[in-house]
Structure 1
Amino acid sequence: MKFLFRALCLSALLSFSSVAQEVMLDKVAVIVDQGVILESEIEALVSEVKKNAALNDQQLPSDRALRTQAIERLIMKSLQMQMAERMGIRISDPQLEQTIANIAANQDATVEDLRFQLREEGVAYEDYRENIREEMIMGEVRRANVRRRIYITDQEVDTLVNLMEEQGAEQAEYRLGHILIGFPPEPSDEDVTESRERADKVLELLNGGSDFAKIALASSSGSEALEGGDMGWLNINSMPTLFAEAVQGKKAGELIGPIRSGAGFHILKIMDTRGIETVTVEEVNARHILIKPSIILSEEKARQQLIKFKEQLMNDEADFAELAKEHSADPGSALRGGELGWADPTNYVPAFRDALAALEPGEFSDPVRSSHGWHLIQLNDRRIDDATERRKEDKAHQLIFNRKFAEETEAWLREMRDAAYIEVLDS
């Protein structure tokens, strides 16, 4: 009996030791201001990049270089999530579920189809769900901080409208690869020289046939480094001005650079090009009442409030404009009685857009949940876009905004990174 007791004790001790060792494997790898990055987070991201690279038959740099890029990505994520916490930005479960439903719908699938696909790929749905929540939060943080840095003049819009008219209906789109050899904050002449030499060496390797994505993963300071430097498809008018001037007239496969900017030296590769087809677009004229759930107002009460409004409107017991002015949480449209004016429906969030698509002129929707809150929508009318001057100006304004938003986002992230306390602990 004593022997059995000692054996059980030894077994328990070994099991506890094994658990303790497993726990010890996860540790703090990086301190980022008031937050930390765990070793397990770095390993998970590196593993994900390797998995995606294997699926896409993509070469990877050394594990050390890959780890460095993963740490940098997680530092930027941590800084944005900490800022979201300070700003009080939250994404509710209904908002999250609506976004996931929209993601599935855009792939002509259901949420159950998406769950099945994730299981096939070995991804836990809860992990996927929380990753989407974090992406939504970081998007809100970027919009809140970067939008106020953007100023667009009438002259800029007029200049671009004239340029678009000169270019005609067909405009080139480029799929760009990007490598940034960055400067440190307030670089010295020696820093600039060293960065230029590194950029020249990278260009030499690329001209010698080295894989662009692998070099980007190993060397780039750009935000697309973990994607192999792939910036995706960009219109000539929506990419950074520096890049737009450099790529014009170039063909697929060509390397460009090094190009110097305030951030460092850029090397571009034109992965592919394509034209843009001009199509007619149906525009909608709609109005809405937005009710935002809060700690005081639950999701169900917000929905029921709009159901009540719809009943009153259907029975001619209330006026839409007056309800919008009194109750709508969209300050811009509330002052106009909920009127949104003529717009391309694709400019709206998916849930709002899809609800409009199901309405006939004069009809009211049921309460619709979007990322902004609960909407009661009335479609006033539809028309085919006739490419008026106003339409051209709106398009030009959006292109300029997209370009400046991308540029200012990079600058804002860099400034936040430079101002943060970051300590990478010994591995």
Structure 2
Amino acid sequence: MKFIIRALMLGALLSFNSIAQEVVLDRVAVIVDQGVVLESEIDALVQEVKRNAAANDQQLPSDRALRTQAIERLITKSLQLQMAERMGIRISDPQLEQTIGNIASNQNATVEQLRAQLAAEGIAYDDYREDIREEIIMGEVRRANVRRRVYITPQEIETLVDLMEQQGAQQAEYRLGHILIGFPPEPTDEDIQAARERADKVIALLESGSDFAKIAIASSSGNEALEGGDMGWLNINAMPTLFAEAIQNKDKDALVGPIRSGAGFHILKVLDTRGIEKVTVEEVNSRHILVKPSIILSEDKAKAMLTRFKEELKNGEAEFADLAKEHSEDPGSALRGGELGWSDPGNYVPEFKEALSQLEPGEYSDPVRTVHGWHLIQLIDRRMDDATDKRKEDKAYQLIFNRKFSEETENWLREMRDAAYVEVIDS
């Protein structure tokens, strides 16, 4: 297989027109199962990390350490994309543009403004699009392969609900830094001792004032190493149990560890804390009329139809329920006069959620385009959910699922990496 891949790569490099000007050709840096990692990919990732570090005034380790971490990140990426290919996972251009539109919207910008920002940072929009496409694909691969590894018992949910009730409606959150000093899948006593000694040295460096992010980038085997070990904000009940027990009640800047797990020794730093958040969630009661464009009904005509309905409703010439029953193409709500019932607005697609956020009770939206078609929306009312027993159970389930999904993702990625054929080609 290695010979075939190399032969194919050589053939590709020799296939240029003989009269073309001499150019510097890219180089295969790593063979990963049926794929390769190119030198240009490694360089691009290293440069991206350096740009981010400069923007955040963050120190970095040596270029060699950066390159090692970049290679590991790209190996993992390649394996996931190869699996997506085998699974037939594809992301269409309309799906991709919808996601980019949502990203821009979350930044309170238009897609055009996002493109301008990327250009100012020297990032080609086409490259950005493909990066987003790959991130979506890898997310789908992880969900498909890891979800079935997560099992939650009723007892786990009940235990967490009891704990949440004891803690009341306030939950602490921690922003954690993480360094993993890993050892092999089946370590010897010598491997464990060597990892422990390295972890102790890292703790000593951190206690003497060394930069956590720099050491994480240089030394960590964790999935977030290139982000300086930053795991982001985590609810105490959503983080790995091992971490939750170790950092609970710790103050900002506290160092914790080394903590041993099956993957190695973990060192944690409490980068920040925040924490008093209510469990109560705003819910909305709304109704809508959905019209789907087709060969017969164009986009413009569908939008115009809903605009006309809105005017009829405002003028008292029609009833919303009657219009929904006659015209709405949402079978789940049309027979109920378009009513969707009480729901967390986060359950809706971004455009629908955004339209609801702009309405007062009784108001109608302008026609709104989503992936489902064109909607005319009326907000009936808002309320604050008081965290019923079902809500608590749902919240407990989601917290446990997120925690286990994160743990199993790390395990799955490590198992896939250990089973892969990887050859780093010396320059």
TM-score by length of 2: 0.81
Three-state SS of the structure 1 residue aligned to 2:217 is: helix
1:271 deviates by: 0.9
1:43 deviates by: 0.4
The residue number in structure 1 matching 2:176 is 176
Query: 1: CA distance between counterparts of 2:369 and 2:338?
Result: 15
1:35 deviates by: 0.9
Range 376-385 or range 191-200, more displaced = 376-385
Contact 2:175–2:271 (8 Å) recurs in 1: yes
1:308 deviates by: 12
Three-state SS of the structure 2 residue aligned to 1:244 is: helix
Give CA-to-partner distance per residue, 1:64-108, whole Å, 9 cap, x none: 110000001111111111111112212122221121111111111
Q: Name structure 1 gaps, 5 residues minimum.
A: 1-15
The residue number in structure 2 matching 1:20 is 22
> What is the 5 A alignment of 1:399-418?
399-418=399-418
Three-state SS of the structure 2 residue aligned to 1:222 is: coil
Contact 1:321–1:337 (8 Å) recurs in 2: no
The residue number in structure 2 matching 1:190 is 190
The residue number in structure 1 matching 2:14 is none
Three-state SS of the structure 2 residue aligned to 1:77 is: helix
Query: 1: CA distance between counterparts of 2:171 and 2:250?
Result: 14
Query: 1: CA distance between counterparts of 2:192 and 2:200?
Result: 12
> What is the 5 A alignment of 1:192-211?
192-211=192-211
Amino acid in structure 1 at the alignment position of 2:238: S
> What is the 5 A alignment of 1:145-184?
145-184=145-184
Range 309-318 or range 207-216, more displaced = 309-318
Query: 2: CA distance between counterparts of 1:318 and 1:262?
Result: 56
1:290 deviates by: 9.9
Three-state SS of the structure 1 residue aligned to 2:84 is: helix
Amino acid in structure 2 at the alignment position of 1:124: A
1:277 deviates by: 2.8
Contact 2:349–2:370 (8 Å) recurs in 1: no
> What is the 5 A alignment of 1:14-413?
19-23=21-25, 26-278=26-278, 280-285=280-285, 319=325, 342-357=342-357, 366=367, 368-370=369-371, 374=373, 381-384=380-383, 385-413=385-413
Range 266-275 or range 154-163, more displaced = 154-163
Query: 2: CA distance between counterparts of 1:143 and 1:120?
Result: 34
Contact 1:174–1:234 (8 Å) recurs in 2: yes
Three-state SS of the structure 2 residue aligned to 1:22 is: coil
Three-state SS of the structure 2 residue aligned to 1:155 is: helix
Contact 2:180–2:265 (8 Å) recurs in 1: yes
Amino acid in structure 2 at the alignment position of 1:405: F
Three-state SS of the structure 1 residue aligned to 2:24 is: helix
Structure 2 vs 1, CA of residues 285 and 139 (structure 1 numbering), >3 Å: closer, same or farther?
farther
Range 73-82 or range 161-170, more displaced = 161-170
Structure 2 vs 1, CA of residues 48 and 367 (structure 1 numbering), >3 Å: closer, same or farther?
same
Contact 2:291–2:329 (8 Å) recurs in 1: no
Percent sequence identity is 70
Range 97-106 or range 63-72, more displaced = 97-106
Give CA-to-partner distance per residue, 1:147-203, whole Å, 9 cap, x none: 221122222122112211211233221110000111212222222222112111211
Amino acid in structure 2 at the alignment position of 1:20: E
Give CA-to-partner distance per residue, 1:378-419, whole Å, 9 cap, x none: 668544112222222222222111111111111111111112
Three-state SS of the structure 1 residue aligned to 2:277 is: coil
Structure 2 vs 1, CA of residues 339 and 412 (structure 1 numbering), >3 Å: closer, same or farther?
farther
Range 165-174 or range 61-70, more displaced = 165-174
Structure 2 vs 1, CA of residues 61 and 292 (structure 1 numbering), >3 Å: closer, same or farther?
farther
Aligned residues: 398
Three-state SS of the structure 2 residue aligned to 1:90 is: coil
Range 31-40 or range 87-96, more displaced = 87-96
Give CA-to-partner distance per residue, 1:224-248, whole Å, 9 cap, x none: 0000000011111111000000001
Amino acid in structure 2 at the alignment position of 1:66: L
1:250 deviates by: 1.2
Amino acid in structure 1 at the alignment position of 2:31: I
Contact 1:292–1:374 (8 Å) recurs in 2: yes
Query: 2: CA distance between counterparts of 1:244 and 1:367?
Result: 43
Query: 2: CA distance between counterparts of 1:237 and 1:132?
Result: 30
The residue number in structure 1 matching 2:314 is none
Contact 2:81–2:138 (8 Å) recurs in 1: yes
TM-score by length of 1: 0.81
Contact 2:147–2:405 (8 Å) recurs in 1: yes
Contact 2:324–2:337 (8 Å) recurs in 1: no
Amino acid in structure 2 at the alignment position of 1:192: I
Query: 1: CA distance between counterparts of 2:51 and 2:292?
Result: 40
Contact 1:303–1:367 (8 Å) recurs in 2: no
Contact 1:321–1:338 (8 Å) recurs in 2: no
Range 261-270 or range 183-192, more displaced = 183-192
Structure 2 vs 1, CA of residues 256 and 388 (structure 1 numbering), >3 Å: closer, same or farther?
same
